[in-house]
């Protein structure tokens, strides 16, 4: 049986935490910062977790890394 191929775009976007959940970066911090408040930008620095209902889909995209 051949191995599954990893989707490289997904491998670059998601990492596993120590507890086994999947971490993702927060959207909305690539450009157009002037219209956003400092408080909002500070909150966007932090990573967030993938919702549990989406985790099986992402694990299929990245079968060996997570």
Does residue 2 fall inside a structural domain?
A: no
* pLDDT beyond 90 at 66: no
pLDDT tens per residue, range 1-34: 899 999 999 999 999 999 999 999 999 999 999 9
β-sheet bridge partners, residue 15: 23
* pLDDT on residue 65: 86
| Domain region containing 27 | 8-61
CATH number for the domain harbouring residue 21? 4.10.410.60
Does residue 66 fall inside a structural domain?
A: no
Q: Rg of the chain's alpha carbons, rounded to an integer?
A: 15
Cβ–Cβ under 8 Å, residues 60 and 7: no
Instruction: Count the domains in the chain.
Output: 1
Does residue 46 fall inside a structural domain?
A: yes
Does residue 1 fall inside a structural domain?
A: no
């Amino acid at each position: 049986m051949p191995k599954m191929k990893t989707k490289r775009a997904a491998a670059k976007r998601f990492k596993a935490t120590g507890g086994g959940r999947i971490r993702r970066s927060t959207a909305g911090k690539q450009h157009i910062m002037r219209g956003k408040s400092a408080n909002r930008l500070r909150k966007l620095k932090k990573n967030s977790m993938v919702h549990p209902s989406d985790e099986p889909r992402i694990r299929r995209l990245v079968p060996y890394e997570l």
